[in-house]
């Protein structure tokens, strides 16, 4: 059970809810604070002009709303902004969104009735996923459109996915005995006015990207292993003179993976002695995609560490406007709904993971191209050259997918378009950034799956699996159980999908 309340919610706890199915509970003291905050706003708002309670929204805030219409105002806001388009967000991302919105409300600065947080908790624990469209909010007055679709479900309208089926919210609520929220003061504005869509997606992105980095370290170690590379480019001594944490972490992780390998070579045994040759058969230094892995993956490690810090800070922040402070007995108007923090971090992660996929593609190309490796048959073809094709066909998929990642890596953070009668004159596009990052990560898993397939074929071509490190041998054995060695040509799309699912579902177990 993960408890939400006074303690900071960690990424590890979010992981347990998202991937291990742990339930959320609400700390009683924190729930009392939510109640106190609501009661304060109810008293404070009487006969005062407060944005979004007795005014219109955005540029329409100059219009006073009569007391008799304030409840209808909130319903109108939810229904009018439930205007998304495109595909529904996958359930995993929707669950992340709900966790992020609930966490913001549990800070007790939004003036919502406690039934809002208890209903969000119940939807998360019962795996009821509101249907939220990918296209919508611009991420400045929050993820307005995405969160409006969440609010639509909270008031008992719209659609949800439950037990894998698309159903009406009212029908599922009736089946589960769930009661929709009512409108008390500002529940409509409170639900939609925040960064919780981009933050929830960002949480999933960080988790999946960290796992992806681990797999890239493993595959980079294994390619160095199967080509019998020298060990000094991974040495502690060489990397320590570069004072970047990520580079040194990656090098250490790769050394650990290869610590009992019988294939990695020690340079002094081969070159640090008197030699008579004028031209050396052994390559003195490996290509950059093998030799410079710590320098390439190191910045990606550091980027993910920094992004995790920012995303978790946002998760534990009050993402709303106005901010209701019952301790100071005041309501503060400002811009805490703005998504620039998440937008910028998602763009950084997107660029970093694109570079990771580019490294994977170059390593894959090295294995495929006999003119580069001088060790393997063309396209890792274990059959008859000319008649069979090996991995030739599926290499196109990897190349094409990396190209898409490169194009998707244009930053959203600098792509503001004013809208809302220029009230929202500079926006973050944070949800777009987070969703594009999610796609880049998904693409990268597809590329790495193809790299895994090729790597295993290389091991079998050399018949060297007994010489692999114990770590590499375990990965080889686990994947070979779902993807046997092949010689004759056959469709490979199902194999690639199975391996991608393996990578997504298994912790690479890198000791950072």
Catalogue the active-site residues: 51
Q: How many residues does the chain have?
A: 512
Backbone angles phi, psi at 311, to 5 degrees: -65, -40
Residues in CB range of 167: below 8 A, 6 or more apart: 159, 160, 161
Cα-only R_g, the chain: 27
In 3D, which of 433, 435, 423 has the Cα closest to residue 141? 423
DSSP 465-502: GGGS-HHHHHHHHHHHTTS----S----HHHHHHHHHH
Q: Answer for the pair 282, 228: CB distance below 8 angstroms, yes or no.
A: no
In 3D, which of 110, 103, 95, 99 has the Cα closest to residue 27? 103
Residues in CB range of 141: below 8 A, 6 or more apart: 58, 193, 321, 337, 338, 420, 424
How far is residue 462's CA from residue 281's CA, in Å, rounded to a whole number?
A: 19
How far is residue 85's CA from residue 200's CA, in Å, rounded to a whole number?
A: 19
Q: From start to end of 228-335, where are the E strands?
A: 323-325, 330-332
- Considering all CA atoms of the chain, what is the largest pairwise distance in Å, rounded to the nearest integer? 97
How far is residue 124's CA from residue 357's CA, in Å, rounded to a whole number?
A: 33
- Copy the structure tokens of residue 61: 């805030």
Count CB-CB contacts under 10 A for residue 477.
12
């Amino acid at each position: 059970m993960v408890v939400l309340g006074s303690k900071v919610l960690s990424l590890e706890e979010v992981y347990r809810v998202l991937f291990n199915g742990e339930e959320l509970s609400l700390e009683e003291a924190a729930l009392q604070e939510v109640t106190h905050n609501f009661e304060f706003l109810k008293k404070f708002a009487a006969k005062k002009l407060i944005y979004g309670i007795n005014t219109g929204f955005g540029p329409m805030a100059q219009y006073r709303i009569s007391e008799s219409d304030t409840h209808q105002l909130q319903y109108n806001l939810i229904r009018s902004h439930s205007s998304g388009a495109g595909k529904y967000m996958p359930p995993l991302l929707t669950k992340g969104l709900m966790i992020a919105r609930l966490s913001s409300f549990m800070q007790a600065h939004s003036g919502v009735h406690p039934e809002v947080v208890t209903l969000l908790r119940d939807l998360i624990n019962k795996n009821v996923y509101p249907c939220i469209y990918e296209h919508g909010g611009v991420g400045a007055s929050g993820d307005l459109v995405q969160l409006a679709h969440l609010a639509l479900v909270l008031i008992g309208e719209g659609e949800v996915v439950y037990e894998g089926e698309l159903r009406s919210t009212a029908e599922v609520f009736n089946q589960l005995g769930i009661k929709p929220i009512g409108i008390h003061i500002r529940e409509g504005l409170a639900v939609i006015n925040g960064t919780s869509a981009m933050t929830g997606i960002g949480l999933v992105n960080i988790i999946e990207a960290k796992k992806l980095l681990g797999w890239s370290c493993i595959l980079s170690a294994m390619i160095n292993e199967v080509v019998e590379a020298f060990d000094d480019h991974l040495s502690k001594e060489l990397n320590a003179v570069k004072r970047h944490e990520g580079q040194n972490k990656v090098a250490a992780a790769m050394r650990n993976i290869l610590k009992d390998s019988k294939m990695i070579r020690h340079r002094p045994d081969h070159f640090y002695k008197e030699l008579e040759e004028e031209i050396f058969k052994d390559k003195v230094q490996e290509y950059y995609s093998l030799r410079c892995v710590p320098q390439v993956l190191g910045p990606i490690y550091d980027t993910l560490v920094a992004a995790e810090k920012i995303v978790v800070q946002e998760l534990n922040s009050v993402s709303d406007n106005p901010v209701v402070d019952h301790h100071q007995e005041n309501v503060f108007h400002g811009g805490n709904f703005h998504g620039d923090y998440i937008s910028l971090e998602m763009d950084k992660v997107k660029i970093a993971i694109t570079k990771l996929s580019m490294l994977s593609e170059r390593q894959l190309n090295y294995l495929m191209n006999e003119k580069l490796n001088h060790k393997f048959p063309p396209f890792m073809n274990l059959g008859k050259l000319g008649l069979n094709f090996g991995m030739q066909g599926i290499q196109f998929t990897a190349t094409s997918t990396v190209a898409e990642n490169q194009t998707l890596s244009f930053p959203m953070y600098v792509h503001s378009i004013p809208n809302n009668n220029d009230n929202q004159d500079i926006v973050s596009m944070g949800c777009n950034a987070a969703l594009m990052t999610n796609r880049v990560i998904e693409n990268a898993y597809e590329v790495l799956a193809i790299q895994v397939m090729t790597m295993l074929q290389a091991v079998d071509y050399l018949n060297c699996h007994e010489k692999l490190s114990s770590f590499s041998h375990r990965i080889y054995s686990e994947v070979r159980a779902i993807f046997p060695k092949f010689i004759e040509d056959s469709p490979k799309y199902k194999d690639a999908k199975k391996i991608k699912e393996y990578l997504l579902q298994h912790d690479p177990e890198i000791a950072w």
